Structure 1
Amino acid sequence: MENHWTLDNCSTDHVTCNHHFMHSWKGTSSSILPNQAVVKGRRGTAKIHHLRNGKRATLKLHDVTYEPTIYKNLISHVRLLRSGYQLAHQILKKKTYVHRFNGHELHFAMSDSLYAFQDMTPRAATGRINATILVTDKTLDPPSDAKLHHWYNKLNHTDMRQVAKIIQPILLPGIDSSTTNHTWYGCAQGQAKRVSFRNTHHYVPTYPLEYLNGDLCGPASPRTVNHELFASMFIDQASRYIFGKLLKTKDDTILHLDALVSDLNSQLPHA
């Protein structure tokens, strides 16, 4: 297959942990880690390992692009929090993280709906900043509901409860955003073709995974489903989208994969 893939979930700040996933790469897009290391965007050939009939098999994809996207922002937040940083200041176009112990600042600016690293301010230049006070200052920090809506839009209309679970560490302490009752009427029409067979009640961890999984189920017995014996599913573990299709034969799996690639190619950005 020579289709062009854009696997944004694997192009987060953890790409250095997945060297075995890539065979070759090229590209210039980059993201920054809490330790100031820079990760370059990668493009080349990817090998996806999976089980088939109890045996390991490898699916080789050519012309694959890994680039920082909305998921890079999401996972970067969690990594920064775990590295000792706190969200000190956030407006629509800019945000600042401050380290709890040494006052080190990281500044991010919005670019193409993503927060890109802008610059840093070492402790010597600013002195100690009380990040706790800044985080709770509502004149600097938007209300939690506004943040929830903003993240919802950035996450491709993922279920609001799942967004709340993902970004809970980012919101103000004590705010129970998981109980929101907001209904988004535009989702069904705009997302239906991309989220068929999606389990909307699946628990989404605060530390998103970074693998695209595929599985083939069947044959179904004793009855068929619409005269079809098998079902194939491809799961993006970062966004939790599940793409499922009923099949008459096992060989139709590649047709489902090809159709999925074509569909995603028409919606995802190219390098």
Structure 2
Amino acid sequence: MAPLAARQAFLDWLTGERRASPETVEAYGRDIADLLAFLGTHQGGEPDLAALQLADLRAFLAHRAAEGIGNSSRARQLSAIKTFLRFLVRRHGLAPLPLGGLTGPRRKPPVPRALTESQARTATTDSFEDSPALAARNQALFTLLYGCGLRISEALALDMRDAPKAGQGLRVLGKGQKERVVPVLPAVEGAVAEWLRHRSPAGPNDPLFTGAKGGRLAATVAQRALQDLRRATGLPEHATPHSLRHSFATHLLGGGADLRAIQELLGHASLSTTQRYTAVDQAGLLDTWRRAHPRAD
């Protein structure tokens, strides 16, 4: 099959059978077009997919790196190309390549985006809700996320018997059913107590945070509530429930907390995951230096 016809057949398959989004089809189309353009030069003529070797794919990735394309984009391109070639093997008889032996560049995990202390205070104390009960519920949830560093799923899994009390450890069931105990600030206890004043009477096994119909609050509802608050108060776009957990860790680190202690509080299995927050703290220090140092320009 001619290379351009192979590309079009692949895109038709993505659209018709895989029902990929238009954005995915467009991105994969660009990735395959980039490969074919490179092969035209690399092979010295019309690309010959039947003659393709792993060395050609490695040369393509090296070429893209030399053009300044980042690791994440090259990793995505390699994923698209592997899908394309496997499609040709299954549907058009292309001889299979040992693609398992071809690894792309490692993607750097994104640096967590934390809020400033002032922004975190806004997220946990301001409200746009007309209903005092909804306002109290949202403030209690967001204060808990920021004050204890919980994941949204961990907070919403709490029951009434788990209602946080200052001076007592809050038992949290995290990823992999791993339990940890986190300390509770008076501000967290106070915010949750205010919510419970509005909440309907409930037993110890009932959910701590409830939705409009009385069932356990859904994460999507909590995310939308913070999105609405963000728009009402001018908080940045990265102000999400998970950013409150990031902010908890970043502000502790900035205050001099030990990295191992933060690891335990967050429930990270690996210290390397927690170390991402040092990049946030260093970025903040650099920004302060740039704004304050007379020779920063």
TM-score normalised by L of structure 1? 0.25
Q: Which has the larger radius of gyration?
A: 2
Which structure has more helix as a fraction of its residues? Answer: 2
Query: Which TM-score applies when normalising by structure 2?
Result: 0.23
Q: Which has the higher strand share?
A: 1
